[in-house]
Homo-oligomer: A and B are copies of this chain.
Amino acid sequence: MQKKQEQRRPKRPQQQNFEYVRRLNGKKVKIFLRNGEVLDAEITGISNYEIVVKVGERNLLIYKHAVDYIEFSE
């Protein structure tokens, strides 16, 4: 996979700290953790390393490093 020169118009460089997960703040998602747990959660807060969620009545502060992937609806 050679490094092609940028023939097309150079894309606007992505802001350094852009994260898709920020788009999911306030949304209901399924979070798949490294320990195999799957959480049906509502995201209530996001920081550089943390995702804060409500899972039913529970408040959880999840570390991103413990997340494998998040399923969301457009």
Contacts and interface: CB of A to CB of B under 8 A. Distances in A.
A43 B37 CA distance: 24
B69 A66 contact: yes
A73 B50 contact: no
Contact of A66 (B14, B60, B67): B67
Interface of A: 1, 3-4, 14, 16-21, 23-24, 32-36, 44-45, 47-50, 52, 58-74
Given A32-B35, A62-B68, 14 more contacts: A3-B18, A3-B20, A3-B23, A14-B48, A18-B47, A19-B48, A19-B49, A19-B50, A33-B68, A35-B36, A35-B68, A49-B64, A59-B73, A65-B65
